[in-house]
Structure 1
Amino acid sequence: MPVGKVKWYEPAKGFGFIVAEDGQEVYLPASALPDGVKEVRSGTRMEFGIAEGRRGAQALSVRLIDKAPSISRAKRKPAEQEAVVVEDLIRLLDGVSNGLRNGRYPEKRQGAKIATVLRAVADDLDA
């Protein structure tokens, strides 16, 4: 069975394309995906059968070999560095908490900065 990587796949459209190791582009319909798999990411390696359809080569009976590597996981900071950021965030939020207890929200500019830091830390942790 040929092996290739997903070039792109659009779950809303229900199809995508695989690039086989020999360079051939193969149509990937949603019906060829294994049971329980609704979508695949670009770069996912898979093994598949090929049949000639009306519009060229079409994948049949796809078997996932391994998932695409996570770009965000590869780019995130080492855990020791992230720990320092989280500790600083705790201190920052503690100051905000004290202000809120005294009936004061942070100024708009400061609130926007805090929200940006929170989102960045959340993205790193979720990767």
Structure 2
Amino acid sequence: MPSGRVRWFDANKGYGFITGDDGKDVFLPSAALPADAAAPRKGAKVEFSVADGRKGPQAMNVTFAAPAPSLVRATRPKADDMAAIVEDLIKLLDSAGNGLRRHRYPSATDSRKLATLLRAVADDFDVQD
């Protein structure tokens, strides 16, 4: 049974491509995926059988051999570094909260900076596996 990695898959379009271990691309229709499986992520290791489709080789009976490596998990900061970032963020939020208690919103510039920092920290915490 051939194997390879998902090159890309678009769940909205319902198809994608697998790059086989031999280097050749194989069309991946959503119908070839297991019924209970979510859309495969780029880089997911798969095993499949091949049939000749109208436009070339097409994958069938796809099974997942291993999950795709999580890029977020591999690139997120160490726990010690995140602790320092969270502590600094708490200080910034406390300062904003004090201003709000005095019925003053932070300036537009400070609001944008705070929102950007909150989103960045949230992204580091939100690991999709």
**TM beyond 0.5:** yes
- Distance in 2 separating the partners of 1:48 and 1:95: 56
Identity among equivalent pairs (%): 50
Normalising by structure 2, what TM-score?
Answer: 0.93
Equivalent residues in 2 for 1:84-95, closer than 5 Å: 84-95=84-95
Residues 28-48 of structure 1 deviation map (CA, whole Å, 9 limit, x = unaligned): 110000112241111110000
Dislocated runs of 4+, deviation >3 Å: none
Establish whether residue 75 from structure 1 lines up as the match of residue 82 from structure 2.
no
In structure 2, stretches of 5+ residues that fail to align are none
Match of 1:105 in 2: 105
Which secondary structure does the structure 2 equivalent of 1:94 belong to?
A: helix
Match of 1:118 in 2: 118
Paired letter, 1:112: R
**Once superposed, what is the RMSD of the aligned Cα atoms?**
1.0
Q: How many residues align?
A: 127
In structure 1, stretches of 5+ residues that fail to align are none
Normalising by structure 1, what TM-score?
Answer: 0.95
Which secondary structure does the structure 2 equivalent of 1:119 belong to?
A: helix
Equivalent residues in 2 for 1:34-49, closer than 5 Å: 34-49=34-49
Establish whether residue 25 from structure 1 lines up as the match of residue 32 from structure 2.
no
